[in-house]
């Protein structure tokens, strides 16, 4: 089999911020081995590869974009591979929705990722940016990661072949792009009721402090320091609720940029630049983007 190609996919219908123009094409891999054709197809199409996952951490630009999207159309059911007294190792496909994985873990009494309850992404995207919330990070649970890379094709990475940091994941010895296809996670056992109660608490905290039902891409900026969260700096600098056209910093949490209905990327970028300038001037912090700009410069 090879990759199927669909022309002119819309970014606004594929991202949770509902922004962005059109890509050149969307390639769909129906099985993992289709990815072997990826470098050649991208070269022939002439655009830059962009994997959106569920599009939950993406700020896409307006207009005709010189990018080629990749969608993973294959996934297996999560499965326990081996069990020890207090821990287990399981595998999960990259295209599995994160909420589905969290639910699955809660049902079986495996702890370590409850903090990620309510994050709408896919497992592959969560790994590629080391998603985290309420003290849990997916990077801390990674046992092995299966990727496709142009250098080595499809292969497993063991713990010493990748590095994770605050919202970052890096493949150590391969400088080109990579596609996460599957991961093995190591998790601890705990009582199901305790895990599910933690999940409920995190969801409630999230709903109380973040605009979970708005069109957003999660936090826009990384926290420059643990004791200087971007949300607090933006709030103090007067950006909470600040609106430009159809885009605004949320009234609920200043580090969430929301699309109020008819927002445009240009408005988002203008608000971001204004906020960065003011926070730099007022507090001396350089706010680094957490959302991925697509295409990146």
Residues near ligand EPU (CB under 6 A): 133-134, 209, 218-219, 222-223, 229-232, 235, 240, 253-255, 290
Token pair of 174 as six digits:
């391969």
Nearest by Cα to 278 from 246, 251, 249, 258 = 249
Distance CA 286, CA 16 (A): 26
Distance CA 13, CA 19 (A): 8
Q: Which of 137, 267, 290, 294 is catalytic?
A: 290
Q: Which whole-number Å values give the CA distances from 284 to 47, 51, 272, 278, in the listed order?
A: 37, 34, 16, 9
Q: How far is the CB of 5 from ligand EPU (least distance, A)?
A: 31
Q: How far is the CB of 54 from ligand EPU (least distance, A)?
A: 13
Is 294 part of the annotated catalytic residue set?
Answer: no
Q: Which is nearer to ligand EPU, 209 or 282 (CB)?
A: 209
Is 167 part of the annotated catalytic residue set?
Answer: yes
Nearest by Cα to 284 from 239, 233, 226, 231 = 233
Distance CA 162, CA 147 (A): 11
Q: Which is nearer to ligand EPU, 90 or 254 (CB)?
A: 254
Q: Which is nearer to ligand EPU, 160 or 227 (CB)?
A: 227
Q: Which of 14, 26, 137, 219 is catalytic?
A: 219
Q: Which is nearer to ligand EPU, 93 or 223 (CB)?
A: 223
Q: Which whole-number Å values give the CA distances from 180 to 32, 84, 122, in the listed order?
A: 10, 26, 11
Q: What's the distance, CA 70 to chain centroid?
A: 15
Q: How far is the CB of 286 from ligand EPU (least distance, A)?
A: 14
Q: How far is the CB of 122 from ligand EPU (least distance, A)?
A: 15
Q: How far is the CB of 25 from ligand EPU (least distance, A)?
A: 29
Distance CA 104, CA 61 (A): 35
Q: Which of 167, 174, 251, 270 is catalytic?
A: 167
- Whether cis (ω within 30° of 0) applies to the bond prior to 19 is no
Distance CA 104, CA 146 (A): 21
Is 290 part of the annotated catalytic residue set?
Answer: yes
Is residue 129 packed enough to be buried (19+ CB in 10 Å), middle (13-18) or exposed (0-12)? buried
Q: Which is nearer to ligand EPU, 141 or 255 (CB)?
A: 255
Residues designated catalytic = 167, 219, 290
């Amino acid at each position: 089999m090879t990759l199927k190609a669909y022309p002119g996919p819309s970014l606004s219908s594929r991202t949770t911020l509902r922004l962005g123009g059109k890509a050149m094409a969307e390639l769909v891999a129906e099985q993992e081995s289709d990815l072997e054709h990826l470098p050649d197809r991208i070269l022939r199409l002439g655009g830059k590869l962009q994997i959106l996952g569920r599009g939950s951490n993406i700020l896409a630009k307006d207009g005709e974009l010189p990018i080629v999207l990749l969608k993973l159309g294959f996934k297996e059911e999560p499965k326990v591979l081996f069990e020890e007294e207090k821990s287990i190792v399981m595998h999960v496909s990259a295209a599995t929705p994160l909420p589905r994985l969290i639910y699955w873990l809660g049902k079986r009494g495996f702890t370590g990722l409850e903090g990620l309850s309510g994050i709408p992404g896919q497992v592959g995207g969560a790994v590629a940016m080391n998603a985290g919330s309420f003290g849990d990070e997916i990077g801390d649970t990674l046992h092995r990661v299966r990727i496709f890379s142009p250098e080595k094709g499809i292969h497993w990475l063991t713990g010493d072949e990748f590095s994770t940091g605050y919202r970052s994941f890096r493949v150590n010895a391969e400088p080109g792009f990579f596609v996460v296809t599957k991961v093995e996670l190591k998790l601890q056992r705990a009582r199901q009721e305790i895990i599910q109660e933690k999940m409920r608490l995190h969801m409630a905290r999230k709903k109380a402090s973040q605009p979970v039902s708005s069109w957003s891409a999660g936090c826009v900026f990384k926290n420059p320091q643990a004791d200087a969260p971007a949300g607090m700096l933006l709030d103090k600098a007067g950006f909470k609720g600040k609106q430009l056209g159809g885009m605004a910093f949320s009234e609920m949490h200043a580090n969430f940029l929301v699309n109020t209905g008819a927002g445009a990327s240009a408005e988002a970028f203008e608000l971001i630049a204004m906020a960065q300038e003011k926070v730099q001037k007022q507090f001396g912090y350089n706010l680094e983007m957490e959302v991925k700009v697509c295409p990146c410069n």
